[in-house]
Structure 1
Amino acid sequence: MNRLPVILAALLVLLAGCSSAVPVQNASAGDGEPQNTITVGAAGQVTAAPDLAIVNVAVEHTADTAEAAREGAATDANRMRAALRDAGIPDDAVTTSGFSLHVQYDYSRETREVIGYQAVHSYRIEVTPDRAGEVIDLAVGNGATSVYGVQFGLSEERQQELRAEALSTAMENARSDADTIADAAGVGIVGVSAVSTSNAPVYTPSPVFAEARAADAAGAPTQIEAGDVTVRATVQVTYETN
């Protein structure tokens, strides 16, 4: 009877059990001497107030002809942009996010009937969070007919600052985990062999939606409250042990 397959199977089971039981890995050093390492993954995060608000609005105009609808939307959009400009909001902070011109039908009869055309010009307006409500009132009071929502986030510079803090926290967490593993394995950490990370997204709270309406007779402005945003970073660190 050939017992070689049975012996090989037993050896594979033994090796599998050994590799999953010990968190300390053996690697080959450059000089041929064995090198003990521990590899851990960790995350860090920082929460802060946003410094950017994105207000999404649209100008809509309906008319009997496509040209009249387009022209009406253009007139209202120019009026809205002029009002924002007069309020100190630069032109490069107001950008087009979408434009559509479509026919409208009446389906109440046996055959559909053209009843008009609608042009919709959507805009993305970037301001500081404290001006979000003001921008809504300016837009609605000067041609905008819809407010799709307000999103809070971070400027590129602020993202980088908070990401650096999150990475520092992640490294601290990685070292803490590695120390715990090393103590349990009866070894000591003597250095860092390798570190890697990846780009991390900025997590924002759910968008804040505001009702599109002009200020009432009492002049009550739209109030928008900003929630915090969180930047998260992850690292993977390989430590050398003795």
Structure 2
Amino acid sequence: MRRSRLTLTLALGLLVVLAGCLGPLQTTPSATDRSTDGTTLSTTGTGSVDAEADLAVVSVAVVATAQSADDARGQVASDVERMRTALREANIPDDAVTTSSFAVYPEYDYSDGERTERGYRAVHSFRIETDPARAGEVVDVAVGNGASEVQGVSFTLSDETRAELRAQAIERAVTAARADADAMAGAAGLSITSIETMSTSGGFAPVERFDVAESAAGGDARTTFEPGPVSVSVTVQVTYRAA
């Protein structure tokens, strides 16, 4: 009987201890469990900067046709040397004249439903970089000394100038995006608190334009160019957080 009472007492004590351990469970939320207050706003801003071109790129080609591939190639090689010599004498440095393409291929005459080989054509194309003020002179020197084609003239920006203007355009684009975000947040009774994401895209557009004018000294015509401004435009996409 005494042992039964002792057993009952121990059992009751154990139940009391377990009841204390199984009381109301309390937890502390982790950082990942806490919800972040705020609303996201996405805006797009565009910035643009105009500048005068500081680099002209003249694309010319020396072309020759002959009965054999080697004769066509040889004639082009001779004319190329004559053109490059004339450019050197005009103080156009060798590193400003680079090959953009070279090809020798057969030409065919299609008549009466038949294909007849009529010779070979060789084409050596060049990219000539110069100051915009000298672009017309470069065209005249090249064409007057072996170049058969002027494939294009573009007025653009040097890498250094382009990077500088792009930075200015980005600054303007970000300012425009923030102004829109502030207006949106204000209309909703919120304030911008931080930037969630930001990305950018855009570039610049080279200008191609020229005309021919009479030389002031004599009756020979010379090529002159009137380049327009080069525009550097950047678009930014920004997502803000507001509360």
TM-score (norm 1): 0.77
User: What's 1:39 paired with?
Assistant: 42
* 1:102 paired to 2:111: no
- Output the CA distance in 1 between the equivalents of 2:33 and 2:55: 50
- Output the CA distance in 2 between the equivalents of 1:104 and 1:210: 33
* 1:208 paired to 2:209: yes
Match of residue 66, structure 1, among 64, 69, 81: 69
Q: Which protein has the larger Cα radius of gyration, Structure 1 or Structure 2?
A: 2
Are the counterparts in 2 of residues 148 and 209 from structure 1 also a CA contact under 8 Å? no
| Residues 110, 176 of structure 1: alpha-carbon distance in 2 compared, 3 angstrom cutoff | closer
Give 1:40-189 correspondences, 5 Å limit.
Answer: 40-108=43-111, 111-189=114-192
The Cα offsets for residues 48-81 of structure 1, whole Å up to 9 and x where unpaired, read as: 1111111111111122222111111000001101
Are the counterparts in 1 of residues 200 and 237 from structure 2 also a CA contact under 8 Å? no
Question: How many residues end up aligned between the 2 structures?
Answer: 209
User: What's 2:220 paired with?
Assistant: 219
| Residues 50, 186 of structure 1: alpha-carbon distance in 2 compared, 3 angstrom cutoff | same
**SS of the counterpart of 2:224?**
coil
User: What's 2:199 paired with?
Assistant: 197
For the aligned residue pairs, the C-alpha RMSD in angstroms reads 2.5
The Cα offsets for residues 108-148 of structure 1, whole Å up to 9 and x where unpaired, read as: 46654433222111111111211111110000010001111
State the one-letter code of the partner of 1:104: E
Task: State the Cα distance separating 1:194 from its structure 2 match.
Answer: 3.1
- Output the CA distance in 1 between the equivalents of 2:219 and 2:100: 33
Structure 1, unaligned stretches of length 5 or more? 1-27
Q: Which stretch of the first structure deviates more once superposed, 93-102 or 71-80?
A: 93-102
Percent identity between the two aligned chains: 47
Task: State the Cα distance separating 1:29 from its structure 2 match.
Answer: 9.1
- Output the CA distance in 2 between the equivalents of 1:110 and 1:36: 72
* 1:229 paired to 2:238: no
Task: State the Cα distance separating 1:33 from its structure 2 match.
Answer: 4.7
- Output the CA distance in 2 between the equivalents of 1:37 and 1:115: 69
Task: State the Cα distance separating 1:218 from its structure 2 match.
Answer: 1.7
| Residues 199, 40 of structure 1: alpha-carbon distance in 2 compared, 3 angstrom cutoff | closer
Task: State the Cα distance separating 1:210 from its structure 2 match.
Answer: 6.8
The Cα offsets for residues 148-168 of structure 1, whole Å up to 9 and x where unpaired, read as: 111121111111111111111
